[in-house]
Amino acid sequence: MKKEKSRSPNWGGVRENAGRKSIWNHKKTCTMRIPKVFAPKLHEIAQKWDKEPSLEFDINSILSKNEYVSNSSSREFENQTEFPNLVSYNRFVELMPSALMPLIFYLNTRKGEVTGISFIDATRLPICSNFRATRNKVFEGLANWGKSSIGWFFGFKLHLIINDKGELLSFQITPGNVDDRVPVKDLVKELFGKLYGDKGYISSDLFKQLFENGIKFITPFRKKMKNRLLPMIDKIMLRKRSLIETVNDQLKNISQISHSRHRSVLNFMVNIIAGLIAYTHQEKKPSLNLNNEEYTLLPSNLIPSESFLF
């Protein structure tokens, strides 16, 4: 007679709650999609956090500290009154990767209201000077060359969408060589109404795809393009695109999301996410300053068939 194989103690039978026992002790699990390059490090952080629940205190303190640093105009954050249990600088750098996922979750709760008037733009995030690009090892295989209106740079792009109140709606980070039109489809999944962009977003195929999804994509015309009639309100809104450029300027100069002192890819991401969160907490954001009567005419307050007539 054949001998029955002995079952592992981690395997159940036909009884209730059968199956392999979870390897996670203290936290509930979920499935999520993240860039493949971050997966090994994030899995390592999750396992360490699961084995040592006491790390949760350090992570909470690092979250508030990241936001404080990004919201400050200077890089001096040795403030014992704001952080009585302040860790050393080296320990702070070590803990920064542990704060990445909580920061991303929190940023998703800070998104603004979709009003039907949105602005899109991409800004460059150089990670070093062009002369040192070939010697950079931290972002090897990730960063790439790109060109903006200022000139060539080596690093990434931040693609951003805001509403008329200057509130963040969606964002995405890509290598510097990615075309501005590529991430638009992913960024506008939760939007409706009108989206205003610059000449870098001109594409007839992209316009048709967004129009089918209830979004009217409006861009300026090039000199050699056939001129089309635009409603006066759209011409005025195209002139208001400086709103999102002001937001990009504040993210770089106030929240300091762009610098060349990153020690790892995860710390680079933490710095950007913390800067975006700090921006969402600003009391005064760049805005079109529409009054109550003008807000009643926004596409968000109209039925879908009327929103395109706005």
* CATH architecture under which domain 117-262+288-307 falls: 2-Layer Sandwich (3.30)
Hey, where are the domains in the chain?
Answer: 117-262+288-307
Confidence band, pLDDT 50/70/90 cuts, at residue 22:
low
- Dist CA 106 CA 110 (whole Å): 7
Confidence band, pLDDT 50/70/90 cuts, at residue 179:
very high
State percent of the chain over pLDDT 70: 68
Q: What's the rounded mean pLDDT across residues 173-186?
A: 93
Hey, which bits of the chain come out as E strands?
117-126, 144-147, 152-163, 168-175, 193-196, 215-218
Q: State the pTM of this model.
A: 0.71
pLDDT given at position 74 = 43
- Dist CA 269 CA 34 (whole Å): 13
Q: Which residue blocks in 109-231 are alpha helix, DSSP H?
A: 184-187, 204-212
